[in-house]
Amino acid sequence: MSSPSDVPSVKLPGGHMPMVGFGTWKLRGRAARDAVLAALAAGYRHLDTATMYANEAEVGQALGDSGLARSDVFVTTKIRASDASRAPQVLRASLRSLGTDYLDLWLIHWPPRGAESPRLWNDLLQARADGYVRDVGVSNYSLSQLDDLIASCGQAPAVNQIDWGPTRYDPAVLSGHADRGIAVEGYSPLKNTNLRDPVLRRIAAEHAVTPAQVVLRWHLEHDITVIPKSAKPDRIAANLDLFGFALTPEQMAAIDGLAGR
């Protein structure tokens, strides 16, 4: 069992993002509320939702029911590219559903086409200037799309949330984000990984942990924030229990070597 103070955080311009968050995609209705409550009880202090997930209200309800102070939990939501023309209304609806008057992080979910991307980015910057959002970022942007956005207004996103895991490992992508001062947040860390891979099983046995815990710890040791989702309380707790072991350089290299498999 981990306590919130075990979880390191990344310094963003507007605050600190805990490096393990709770993903909520595909969690709906009662199951979403119960899973988020279980995550908060297990010690998660970072929740990841999106307008597209249709569960902001349940996430907000669990946050309220948890009894935690709003300021103790880092809340991220995302705006769809298809909502680019009505960002202020979408933000108001997200805040209302989540039962909060600010977001810790607001992300563009997928890059909108052409000129819509810098236009929407300006709306996010305005929301931050107006105090509704502590930090702003993007998701699913390539390095060249990040450069286009930065060139449009001179301001880099704080975070890029991207599909990440051992088979996607690419040091050039990580150094490209570091060079631009953009924190990488990895999504689908478990779903897109073969947890039966012999390399992961061997390393898990060496630490008496599970392959899923090895994968999540590997993200942290690469300075990547990770946001696993589970509907099961035992997995929710185990996915945060990452601070009783550390991977050796040999183990890190072996996991890096799964790239492209």
Ligand X SMILES: NC(=O)c1ccc[n+]([C@@H]2O[C@H](COP(=O)([O-])OP(=O)(O)OC[C@H]3O[C@@H](n4cnc5c(N)ncnc54)[C@H](OP(=O)(O)O)[C@@H]3O)[C@@H](O)[C@H]2O)c1
Q: What does the binding site for ligand X look like in residue numbers (CB under 6 A)?
A: 23-25, 48, 109, 139-140, 161, 187-191, 195, 212, 227-232, 235, 238-239
Residue from 190, 177, 192 nearest 222 by CA? 177
- How far is Cα 55 from Cα 65, in angstroms, rounded to an integer? 15
Q: Which is nearer to ligand X, 154 or 198 (CB)?
A: 198
Smallest distance, ligand X to C-beta of residue 16, A: 19
Smallest distance, ligand X to C-beta of residue 78, A: 6
Residue from 77, 68, 73 nearest 96 by CA? 77
Residue 55: C-alpha distances to residues 44, 61, 249, 261 (Å): 18, 10, 40, 33
Backbone angles phi, psi at 140, to 5 degrees: 65, 30
Smallest distance, ligand X to C-beta of residue 119, A: 20
Q: Which is nearer to ligand X, 4 or 111 (CB)?
A: 111
**Is 44 part of the annotated catalytic residue set?**
no
Strand partners, 136: 106
Q: Which is nearer to ligand X, 100 or 160 (CB)?
A: 160
- How far is Cα 52 from Cα 213, in angstroms, rounded to an integer? 28
Nearest to ligand X by Cβ — which residue?
A: 23
Q: Which is nearer to ligand X, 113 or 250 (CB)?
A: 113
> Are 43 and 75 a contacting pair, CB within 8 Å?
no
Q: Which is nearer to ligand X, 34 or 256 (CB)?
A: 34
Residue from 221, 231, 149 nearest 186 by CA? 221
Smallest distance, ligand X to C-beta of residue 165, A: 8
> Are 100 and 131 a contacting pair, CB within 8 Å?
no
Alpha-carbon torsion (234, 240, 242, 244), positive or negative:
negative
Smallest distance, ligand X to C-beta of residue 134, A: 19
Q: Which of 53, 102, 141, 187 is catalytic?
A: 53
Residues carrying an active site annotation: 53
